[in-house]
A and B are shown apart, each in its own frame.
Chain A
Amino acid sequence: MSDLMAPFHEAVADPHGWLSKYKKQAGVKICGYFCDYVPEEILKAAGYTTVRIMGGKGEVTVADKYLQSNVCSFARRCLEQGMLGVFDYLDGVVIPHTCDVINKMNDLWAYRMKTPAFVHYFWVPHKVFHESASAVMEAEIQRMIQAVESSSEVKITDDAIREAIELFNRSRSLLDRVYQFRRSPPPRINGVDAYAVALSSLIVPKEIHNQWMERLIEGLGETESSSGKDRPRILISASVLDDLELMTAVEKSGAWVVADDICTSTRYFTDMVDNSDSAPIKALARRYLNKKPCPRSVGSYQPRLDHILKLASDYKVDGVIFYILRCCDGHLYQYPVLNERLRKEGYKTLYIQGDHGIGITDGISNRIHAFTEILLP
């Protein structure tokens, strides 16, 4: 099993090194994007390899002059890395209007940074579930197509978009199948490994990553569910989480991470694009508007609650950890109501305030340990 997991962990351990090497070997263009509302399929249809912009761990020094301490620590780390040249292998970046801070990330990236040459702003409606949103989302996708075509000098055809949808849907479906191996008590794949699979899907080109996942699924299918003692089963609800520290801390405490509501995981891959639709742009607009929502979206509370409750029931969850980055307003406003409701449903919960650059401190680990102890039968 460790052999099958090795490539996923390698990509997660050094995403920039992995992509730089791949770019050199394969001679491809790479386009970065923020958040999970950018239709990557368009970029893929133009021949780009897509990569989610991630913050990584470390200090903020050069970016502090532009984005100061009381702003999302994830965004600060992204800008820091951008200014230090960590993303120099990118040929383009697409920045959506998801929240205020990511919106300003576009302003800063466009105005203050020299690279990459192609910076595209993608406007996403707040009222994603409203009937008026489809037309404007379709228009934004069309505008993105024009911008990408003009920058890459590649004509994006409907057939190429359909092919990309097929590839990305396959990835979504495989990711879901990997996650399903955690339903059994005890799970056939632990939370750290499962999350490494999800995270690496944001880095590694889908055609390669899908092959890795197919091999892994075959391996997992042959594995017997271990008969060892089961542990408390935990669901993690978080904003953005781009490494394995939290999952590791939870599993070290003696619990399993069996499910999550995270934008670099299930909120990213759960919903499929309807590729039977004769108009692929319409289908993409529908999927990205109706996917498991980020709390920034209007009307996102109920779908988020439904998503969490369904996962909690399907994966027999005992407790929920909310890991919310300081200053992440969308999550902070929804947390009290969501927490109250989950407690009413009988789930124990733990709130952890995170700092993206610092990660999991000893203090946080101790609180996770105490929480796991509470969940023990």
Chain B
Amino acid sequence: MRSEEDKSRMRGKKHLQTTREISKIVEQYYAERSESGKKQGQKVAWCGIAVPKQPLQAMDVLAYYPEQYGTVVATRGDPHRFLKQAEAYGLSPEMCGYARITIGYILEGLPEDAPMGGMSRPDMLLVTTAVCDTRVKWWELMGQLLNVPVYVMEFPDLPPIGRNGAQVGQAELGTSGHQVTRADMPYLGQYALSHYQGLIKFLEEVCGKPMDQAKLLQSSKSSGGVGKVRREINEYRKAIPTPMGSADAFAAMFPGQYMPGSEVANDFYNRLRAEVRERMDKKVGIVPEEKFRLLWSGIPFWYNMGLLNYFEKKGGVVVIDTQYGCSALSTGNPNRDPKKWGMNAYVGTVMKALVDYNCDGAILSYTPTCRALYINQMEIKNTLMEELGAPALLLESDMVDPSSFSEAQTMMRVDAFIELVTEKASKRNWKPSMVQSPF
């Protein structure tokens, strides 16, 4: 058990006014769902993170995201309560922390005293094959335990053609490196589309009504609008000093990730854009003078978001994070682009973000229980050094299980890395990429 002092130190500090509202938005999100979930008629779905949100909004389906709920439990509750249940059931500690929390929550019978009231009992489970295979097996197991139908939407995730590794552009940055189709496999695009159509059909069957096409169109338009504003905000993050870092950005991803077509998201990002723009124009940074700029790759340690602020105390900023999309309005820096972008687009997007956002080094969160991301991290470290001479620090811990975090050892390594990267930043031999004005 961690002391109150530890918990307070580990809590992340946000610098922007707008992002401080996120707690309320998340609370409101769960409160509304808890209320609606008890109503007759409205269908409840537990969804994987990459499930398209627009059809759910158009069908008035109440969506929960078990991965997101894992972060809620990790930041606001006692994750061990559910992790212990899952392990007693036979799930090994080396398996995904998010999955173990959710399965433990189910095995406890979806208790009402779970953080933020928990997730309402689902009528259906929806997941895609994107990112990891783990999620598919996790959803199938939940389907068996809850005895509800599961729809798995095929979402191919392809490696680059040939042996020269990734070709990375704006599209890959927007999708965090997922490639659904390839020039020599055009049929996979059609295949993925047929599974999207299958999702619509599945929703229609479970909800007992046809898809509201007008609402679907509206929701898609609103989501697109939110996406554009988020890219504009990211563009401003390139500025030196950066007006917004990842300590704020990780919190700010919630509305865009989980309620993209909503008014709340629309309003939130418009206000955030205004605040970020104003800070950029007035050259208000996160620290008085940026001694080094870092990139964060991978899932953050949700129980210790204060770690991001630690770099600020040492005069640096974690400027950009790649896990939830890091696309800006422009990409590339002819003064600094490497010859090769690495073995696949997951590696390539991190490389590109490091260049685009004028970073000196990278923090690679090394979550051993997340196989799909974990496998890429070592390659990212290797390729950053080989192609850009940029140092990276691998920090190993689970994303939701605080017992896996060794603070003394970690902070010793962080301090050594800060020394290295500060030295490196003081001798930059590249010209920074410039912020592109949207006007």
Residues of A bordering B, CB below 8 Å: 65-71, 99-101, 103-104, 106-108, 110-112, 119, 121, 123, 125-127, 132, 135-136, 139-140, 143, 295-296, 298-299, 301, 326-327, 329-330, 332-337, 339, 351, 353
Q: Find out whether the CB atom of A66 lies under 8 angstroms from the CB atom of B133.
A: no
CB B411 to nearest CB in A, in angstroms, measures 22
Pick the residue among B137, B184, B187, B195 that contacts A135 (CB under 8 A): B187
Interface of A is mostly: helix
A106 CA to B163 CA, complexed, in Å: 10
B residues within 8 A CB of A136? 187-188, 191
A residues within 8 A CB of B157? 103
B residues within 8 A CB of A299? 140
Q: Find out whether the CB atom of A332 lies under 8 angstroms from the CB atom of B132.
A: no
B residues within 8 A CB of A353? 92
How many residues does chain B have at the interface if contact means C-beta atoms less than 8 Å apart?
Answer: 49
Q: Say yes or no for B194: interface residue by CB 8 A criterion.
A: yes
CB A90 to nearest CB in B, in angstroms, measures 15
Return 19 A-B CB contacts under 8 Å, by A number.
Answer: A66-B379, A70-B94, A70-B369, A100-B132, A104-B376, A106-B159, A107-B159, A107-B343, A111-B342, A123-B158, A123-B188, A126-B129, A126-B152, A126-B154, A139-B187, A332-B92, A333-B138, A336-B89, A336-B91
Q: Find out whether the CB atom of A329 lies under 8 angstroms from the CB atom of B371.
A: yes
- Measured CB to CB, the nearest residue on chain A to B129 is A126
B residues within 8 A CB of A67? 375, 378
Q: Find out whether the CB atom of B162 lies under 8 angstroms from the CB atom of A333.
A: no
**Contact status of A337 and B382, CB under 8 A, knowing A110-B159, A143-B185:** no
A residues within 8 A CB of B343? 107-108, 110-112
- Measured CB to CB, the nearest residue on chain B to A117 is B163
Q: Find out whether the CB atom of A298 lies under 8 angstroms from the CB atom of B140.
A: yes
**Apart from A132-B154, A326-B92: 10 A-B pairs, beta carbons within 8 A:** A101-B371, A104-B376, A110-B159, A111-B342, A111-B343, A126-B136, A126-B152, A143-B184, A330-B133, A333-B134
- Residue among A100, A126, A329, A332 with the highest chain B CB neighbour number at 10 A: A329
Q: Find out whether the CB atom of B194 lies under 8 angstroms from the CB atom of A101.
A: no
Pairs A-B, 10 closest by C-beta atoms: A333-B137, A70-B368, A336-B90, A111-B343, A107-B343, A104-B375, A110-B163, A139-B187, A100-B372, A107-B344
**Contact status of A132 and B163, CB under 8 A, knowing A66-B382, A139-B187:** no
- Measured CB to CB, the nearest residue on chain B to A340 is B90
**Contact status of A327 and B375, CB under 8 A, knowing A298-B152, A333-B140:** no
Q: Find out whether the CB atom of B92 lies under 8 angstroms from the CB atom of A334.
A: no
A185 CA to B435 CA, complexed, in Å: 78
B residues within 8 A CB of A327? 94, 371
A327 CA to B136 CA, complexed, in Å: 16
- Measured CB to CB, the nearest residue on chain A to B195 is A132
Q: Find out whether the CB atom of A301 lies under 8 angstroms from the CB atom of B376.
A: no
CB B392 to nearest CB in A, in angstroms, measures 13
A135 CA to B342 CA, complexed, in Å: 32
A140 CA to B181 CA, complexed, in Å: 13
Q: Find out whether the CB atom of B133 lies under 8 angstroms from the CB atom of A329.
A: yes
A residues within 8 A CB of B187? 135-136, 139
Q: Find out whether the CB atom of B382 lies under 8 angstroms from the CB atom of A65.
A: yes
A residues within 8 A CB of B315? none
A119 CA to B164 CA, complexed, in Å: 12
- Measured CB to CB, the nearest residue on chain B to A298 is B152
Q: Say yes or no for B144: interface residue by CB 8 A criterion.
A: yes
- Measured CB to CB, the nearest residue on chain B to A337 is B144
A residues within 8 A CB of B420? none
**Contact status of A329 and B378, CB under 8 A, knowing A70-B368, A301-B144, A339-B90:** no
CB A132 to nearest CB in B, in angstroms, measures 5
CB A341 to nearest CB in B, in angstroms, measures 10
Considering the complex, which residues of chain B in the window 364-421 have a beta carbon less than 8 Å from any beta carbon of chain A?
368-369, 371-372, 374-376, 378-379, 382
Q: Find out whether the CB atom of B152 lies under 8 angstroms from the CB atom of A332.
A: no
Q: Find out whether the CB atom of A332 lies under 8 angstroms from the CB atom of B195.
A: no
Q: What per-residue 1/0 map shows which CB atoms of B345-375 lie under 8 Å from chain A? A: 0000000000000000000000011011011
- Measured CB to CB, the nearest residue on chain A to B394 is A68
Q: Find out whether the CB atom of B137 lies under 8 angstroms from the CB atom of A329.
A: yes
A140 CA to B156 CA, complexed, in Å: 13
Q: Find out whether the CB atom of B133 lies under 8 angstroms from the CB atom of A301.
A: no
A301 CA to B150 CA, complexed, in Å: 14
Q: Say yes or no for B95: interface residue by CB 8 A criterion.
A: yes
Considering the complex, which residues of chain B in the window 111-170 have a beta carbon less than 8 Å from any beta carbon of chain A?
129, 132-134, 136-138, 140-141, 144, 152, 154, 156-159, 162-165
A70 CA to B372 CA, complexed, in Å: 11
Q: Find out whether the CB atom of B140 lies under 8 angstroms from the CB atom of A132.
A: no
B residues within 8 A CB of A112? 343
- Measured CB to CB, the nearest residue on chain B to A146 is B184
Pick the residue among B94, B164, B379 that contacts A108 (CB under 8 A): B379
A375 CA to B89 CA, complexed, in Å: 24
Q: Find out whether the CB atom of B141 lies under 8 angstroms from the CB atom of A71.
A: no
A44 CA to B376 CA, complexed, in Å: 33
B residues within 8 A CB of A337? 141, 144
B residues within 8 A CB of A121? 158-159
**Contact status of A333 and B144, CB under 8 A, knowing A125-B154, A135-B187:** no
A100 CA to B375 CA, complexed, in Å: 9
B residues within 8 A CB of A333? 91, 95, 99, 134, 137-138, 140-141
A residues within 8 A CB of B129? 126
B residues within 8 A CB of A103? 157, 159
Q: Find out whether the CB atom of B379 lies under 8 angstroms from the CB atom of A99.
A: no
CB A355 to nearest CB in B, in angstroms, measures 12
- Measured CB to CB, the nearest residue on chain B to A136 is B191
A residues within 8 A CB of B91? 332-333, 336
- Measured CB to CB, the nearest residue on chain A to B375 is A104
- Residue among B154, B344, B375, B382 with the highest chain A CB neighbour number at 10 A: B375
CB A97 to nearest CB in B, in angstroms, measures 8
B residues within 8 A CB of A301? 140, 144
Q: Find out whether the CB atom of B154 lies under 8 angstroms from the CB atom of A100.
A: no
Q: Find out whether the CB atom of A65 lies under 8 angstroms from the CB atom of B94.
A: no
- Residue among B133, B342, B379 with the highest chain A CB neighbour number at 10 A: B133
CB A103 to nearest CB in B, in angstroms, measures 7
B residues within 8 A CB of A99? 133
**Contact status of A326 and B94, CB under 8 A, knowing A66-B382, A333-B138:** yes
A119 CA to B162 CA, complexed, in Å: 8
Q: Find out whether the CB atom of A123 lies under 8 angstroms from the CB atom of B156.
A: yes
Pick the residue among A66, A101, A110, A127 that contacts B152 (CB under 8 A): A127
A267 CA to B315 CA, complexed, in Å: 57
- Measured CB to CB, the nearest residue on chain B to A72 is B371
CB A152 to nearest CB in B, in angstroms, measures 18
B residues within 8 A CB of A119? 163
A11 CA to B195 CA, complexed, in Å: 44
